[in-house]
Amino acid sequence: MPEPGRRSGRPGHVADATGDPYTGRVSQTPSLPPVYQPAEVEQRRYAGWIEAGYFTADAASDKPPYTIVIPLPNVTGSLHTGHALDHTIQDALIRRKRMQGYEALWMPGLDHAGIATQNVVERQLAAEGLSRHDLGREKFVARVWQWKAESGGMITHQMRRLGDSVDWSREAFTMDEPRTRAVRTIFKRLYDDGLIYRAERIINWCPRCLTALSDIEVDHSDDEGELVYIRYGEGERSVVVATTRAETMLGDTAVAVHPDDDRYRHLVGVEVELPLTGRRIPVVADAHVDPEFGTGAVKVTPAHDPNDFEIGQRHGLPSLTVLDERGVVTAHGPFQGLDRFEARPAIVAALREQGRIVKEVRPYVHAVGHCSRCHTTVEPRLSLQWFVRTAPLAKAAGDAVRDGRVRIVPEEMTKRYFDWVDNMHDWCISRQLWWGHRIPVWYGPDGEMVCVGPDEEPPAGPGWRQDEDVLDTWFSSALWPFSTLGWPEDTPDLRKFYPTSVLVTGYDILFFWVARMMMFGLYAMDGVPPFHVVALHGMVRDKHGKKMSKSFGNVVDPMDWIERYGADATRWTMARGANPGADVPVSEEWCAGSRNFCNKLWNATRFALTNGAHTRGPLPDGLSAVDRWILSRLSQVIAEVDERFEAYELARVCDVLYHFAWDDVCDWYLELAKPVLAAGGPAAERVRRVLGEVLDQLLRLLHPIIPFVTDELWTALTGGESVVIAPWPVPDRSRRDEAAEAEVAALQKVVTEIRRFRADQGLRPSQRVAARLSGLAGAGIADHEPLVRSTARLDDPGEGFAATATLTVTGGVVVELDTRGAIDVAAERARLERDRAAAEKEAAQARAKLANEAFLTRAPAHVVEQTRQRLAAAEEDLARIAAALDTLSGGRESA
């Protein structure tokens, strides 16, 4: 096998093919190299697109708008496979709409990514032996801006490599001036409407990041712990509680039992002694307690457990904080200063010494929350934070989907959405960080609290200070669909491009982001939801469908694939798996296959150009059946691609186009065109036009997914400016031609049968075989004998022709071949016997059905008819095979 690159030494093969081997015509275009080289093309094309301003949307345009806002990548991030998938889908949608004549805006931008970015810069400082506190708030924030300017937003460069047709002139950042203004505006409005409030609540606290977290920033995993049974109190007045968090007992202020639990009825209202502390705490009755779990008695720690906090509220219990912000014990006594995880065994040991431990169950697996940023175990903590009152906002967000104003694709995800918005807790939006939008609230010397709007001056004077906290990053992300368009100003962009057309993102952030954009969009934009459709895709996985993870070593870097296979191949690999909600398995082999597909298009177009294919003038009359067939297929393909695109089924789009391009166009149409081109004349002239037409349309259809190679080829083929701005194909129903399709199907069948015979007989492609054909007219392909001969490599019967084998094909075509004894009669007989068995089975099946009275009366007429046809076809096959076997036994058995 020749190595790639070391190709055949055929004369003229490697050299640029500029001469037409069939007509001698010289190609009209600069020569295309024989193998597609993505790197140079991509760089040149992208620069050209930007220079031409194709992606810059015009708010003053008369065209209907089509808008997508990008799921804003983190400023700290780089392009991973998830982006490659997400961006490929969006770019495909936006490019198609642009071609369809919409004013298409794909809005790019970056998220300031509060915790993530602060962590990056803090790590840098740590390397210098500094902490953010050494710098102070102002200098630290300046340092983060400096970091952003120098190393942030790497992904925006990688997006250019992927070919994203975003409008760079509108690039936004969640911390830039217009977006900051949007944040200040909505905060003020929500505050004034009573939808933002400050309260002391149990929140998720990360003892490492030292900040509050919202529910969605907490990941739960099943961790092993131990359930410890501890006796509180003495004798009659004692109760055994079960806990996984013994260290919090120092903050217990009650024991709770179920009101209907007879075992403990006598204890309700009684006080028991809390071990190790000498404090006495009451036993209270609360319906929250599950009598089935543990002992049916729960220790109550209002300051360190959300349930206990609520029990405490109901019963007027005090909250006793015994852990500080780092999770270190603050309660006076021998445990003071111990970390929470050191304190736990220490306290259990102390209790055991006192004989308080009744029993231990280990291991006990239960769900434990972890910080989604650093995986530290989250500590429920009582603290003073800012919250968004979500109930009314979430109701509106649910209604917008319920009443159909917003559609979620795939529909199955809708239920998940409802589960989320219908059960949403108030959203903790304050973070104890420095990088982010500072909460615009000032506190006065006498306990005043003033929320300051974007155009207002904060209160000045001694004793006034601004809230130290910043807002959750997702707060500004939730404004993205309208803050990027200039809200709160009434801008031309906002009027033209809001609401956006579709939001494309992974199902993993349906809740994180989508629900919140819905809430804020509906609120800020007077009930107009931020998008019409939410199109969810899945996660990119490895070729075994496994999640990509660093520890597994199966992570793919899309930039690596772009370098080695090209951006188009990378995009195609993503797109061909991208159906709504479906995970996308990818692998390097598949990316190589995608590269091969691009190369196939390259060579098909190269062939077409060297043979004078063009797109000038209308399609001629007098087209052959083959020409009419490919145009008929093209019309079908356009319609199907449209349908799949509208359903966000990119994988189907790819499937349809792949098979049309490779099977129909390359394997059949081009092969059938070759002899016509070689013969020259008006038929060849017609083929040149049809071939140009088919490739022109095909390249347009492919362009949204593989923009680079299609632009390079399309401009070479058509001489047009760019396929980026070429009109999207419209299916021409008048080109549908069932007769031509049937004719070509029959032709393909005959050719395939002959090829199979040749392969079975071990006849080399190079071995010329003379043959006599008959019965073509009966099969409806009377005109195609030359095509059958050239495609199946059969010579005309010359002098001394002697038929040594007869092949009978479905439809009554008979091929007599002069194989001069090369034929293996035994092998051929074996094959025919196999065919006969299959045909008999088929016929028997059909006969059985048709003999069934119930089938005939109950089944729909078309099904019965279809079955009759199946039977007829099977019987014809049987007759054909019997005839062939007869001929065979009449022939001579070869050695």
Partner RNA sequence: GGGCGCGUAGCUCAGCGGGAGAGCACCCGCCUUACAAGCGGGAGGUCGCUGGUUCGAUCCCAGCCGCGCCCACCA
Query: Least Å distance between CB 163 and RNA?
Result: 17
Q: Which of 234, 489, 589, 795 binds RNA (CB under 7 A)?
A: 589
**Token output for 732:** 């021409």
For RNA, which residue of 462, 765, 798, 800 counts as binding (CB under 7 A)? 765
| Window 703 to 762, contacts with RNA (CB under 7 A) | 752, 755-756, 758-760, 762
Tokens of 882: 């019997």
Residue 840 interacts with RNA (CB under 7 A): yes or no: no
CB atoms closer than 10 angstroms to residue 483: 28
The nearest distance, CB 30 to RNA, in angstroms, is: 16
Using CB under 7 A, which of 259, 282, 291, 459 touches RNA? 291
| Pick 465 or 858: Cβ nearer RNA | 858
3-state DSSP helix/strand/coil % of the chain, to nearest 5: 45, 20, 35
Nearest-angstrom CA–CA distance, 581 and 538: 5
Residue 299 Cβ, how far from RNA at the closest point, in Å?
6
Looking at residues 130 to 159 of the shown chain, list those that interact with RNA (rule: CB under 7 A). Answer: none
Q: Which residues contact 878 (CB under 8 A, 6 or more apart)?
A: 836, 839, 840, 843
Q: How far is the CB of 610 from RNA (least distance, A)?
A: 7
Does residue number 768 form part of the binding site for RNA (CB under 7 A)? no
For residues 107 and 754, which CB has a smaller minimum distance to RNA in the complex?
Answer: 754
Cβ proximity to RNA: between 5 and 890 the closer is 5
Contacts of RNA in 636-665 (CB under 7 A): 655, 659, 662
Provide the minimum distance between the beta carbon of 142 and RNA in the complex, in angstroms, as a whole number: 35
How far is residue 279's CA from residue 233's CA, in Å, rounded to a whole number?
Answer: 10
User: CA 288, CA 830: separation in Å to the nearest integer?
Assistant: 78
Nearest distance from C-beta of residue 577 to RNA, angstroms: 7
- Which region, judged by CB under 7 A, interacts with RNA, from 89-97, 231-239, 302-310, 468-476? 302-310
Beta bridge partners of residue 66, listed in sequence order: 104
* Count of residues of this chain found to bind RNA when the rule CB under 7 A is applied: 103
Which positions from 500 through 529 interact with RNA, judged by CB under 7 A?
508, 511
Q: Which of 667, 721, 732, 785 binds RNA (CB under 7 A)?
A: 667
Identified binder of RNA from the candidate list 217, 247, 305, 828, rule CB under 7 A: 305
- Strand, helix or coil for residue 62: coil
Q: Where in 668-707 is the site for RNA (CB under 7 A)?
A: 670-671, 674
* Part of the chain binding RNA (CB under 7 A), chosen from 48-56, 148-156, 420-428, 485-493: 420-428
In 3-state terms, what secondary structure has residue 541? strand
Nearer Cβ to RNA, position 423 or 551? 423
The token duo for 103 is: 């004013």
- Other beta carbons within 10 angstroms of residue 838's beta carbon come to 13
What is the torsion angle, in degrees rounded to the nearest 10, for the CA atoms of residue 236, residue 240, residue 246 and residue 248?
A: -60
Give the Cα separation of 228 and 208 in Å (integer).
Answer: 27
Q: In 3D, which of 171, 17, 149, 131 has the Cα closest to residue 606?
A: 17
Phi and psi at 272, nearest 5°, equal -120, 160
The token duo for 496 is 């033209």
Nearer to RNA, 671 or 795 (CB): 671
Least distance in Å: CB of 363 to RNA? 13
HSE-CB for 357 with a 13 A CA cutoff? 17
**HSE of 344, CA atoms in CB hemisphere, 13 A:** 11
Q: Given the rule CB under 7 A, which of 110-118, 290-298, 495-503, 553-561 is the region that contacts RNA?
A: 290-298
Residue window 58-97: x/- pattern of binding to RNA, with contact defined by CB under 7 A? ----------------------------------------
The single-letter DSSP state of residue 808 is E
Beta partners for 106?
Answer: 68
- Compute the least distance from the CB of residue 727 to RNA, in Å: 26
Task: Name the minimum Å distance from CB 565 to RNA.
Answer: 7
Find the binder of RNA among 419, 468, 489, 795 (CB under 7 A). Answer: 419
Give 373-407 as a DSSP string.
TT-PBPEEEEEEEEEE--HHHHHHHHHHHHTTSSE
E-assigned strand segments in 723-812: 769-774, 794-795, 805-809
Q: 203 forms bridges with which residues in the sheet?
A: 381
Candidates 526, 854, 892, 895: give the one binding RNA (CB under 7 A).
Answer: 854
Which range binds RNA by CB under 7 A, 69-77, 161-169, 667-675, 683-691? 667-675
Spell out the SS3 assignment of 275-287: CCCCCEEEEEECC
Does position 842 interact with RNA (CB under 7 A)? The reply is yes
What single letter denotes the amino acid at residue 350? A
User: Which of positions 195-254 make contact with RNA (CB under 7 A)?
Assistant: 215-216, 220, 222, 241-245
Give, as ranges, the residues between 423 and 442 that touch RNA (CB under 7 A): 423, 425
Closest distance between RNA and the C-beta of residue 706, in Å? 13
Q: Is there binding between residue 855 and RNA (CB under 7 A)?
A: yes
Pairing of strands 211-213, 254-257: unpaired
Minimum distance of RNA from residue 739's CB (angstroms): 18
> Closest separation between CB of residue 607 and RNA, Å?
3
Q: Which two tokens stand for residue 609?
A: 């150009």
Q: Which of 503, 484, 416 is nearest to 181 (CA)?
A: 484
Q: Which is nearer to RNA, 59 or 859 (CB)?
A: 859
605, amino acid identity:
T
Choice between 10 and 123, CB closer to RNA: 10
Binding to RNA (CB under 7 A): which residues in 866-885? Answer: 866-867, 869-870, 873
| Of residues 356-395, those binding RNA (CB under 7 A) | 366-367
Identify the H or E element spanning 620: none
**Residues ≥6 apart with Cβ < 8 Å to 83:** 73, 77, 155, 158, 159, 162, 558
Please, which of residues 599-638 interact with RNA by CB under 7 A?
599-600, 603-604, 606-607, 610
Residues from 5 through 64 that contact RNA (CB under 7 A): 5, 7-10, 13, 17, 21, 34-36
- Tell me the sheet residues that pair with 240: 231
Shortest distance (Å) from residue 590 CB to RNA: 6
> Does 800 engage in binding with RNA (CB under 7 A)?
no
Coil, strand or helix: which one is 688? helix
What is the Cα 438 distance to its own chain's centre? 34
Q: What is the rounded CA–CA span in Å between residue 593 and residue 599?
A: 10
Residue 821 CB, shortest distance to RNA, in Å, is 18
Nearer to RNA, 211 or 573 (CB): 573
- Per CB under 7 A, contacts with RNA among 529-568 are 541, 543-545, 547
Could you say whether residue 412 binds RNA (CB under 7 A)?
yes
Instruction: Output the six-digit token pair for 393.
Output: 């906002």
Phi-psi region of 851 (alpha: psi -120 to 50; beta: other; left: phi over 0): alpha
Nearest distance in Å: CB 808, RNA = 16
Question: Counting contacts by CB under 7 A, is residue 354 touching RNA?
Answer: no
Minimum Å gap between C-beta 862 and RNA is 8
CB of 618 to RNA, least distance (A): 26
* Contacts (Cβ under 8 Å, ≥6 apart) of 155: 73, 77, 78, 79, 83, 110
Nearer to RNA, 153 or 296 (CB): 296
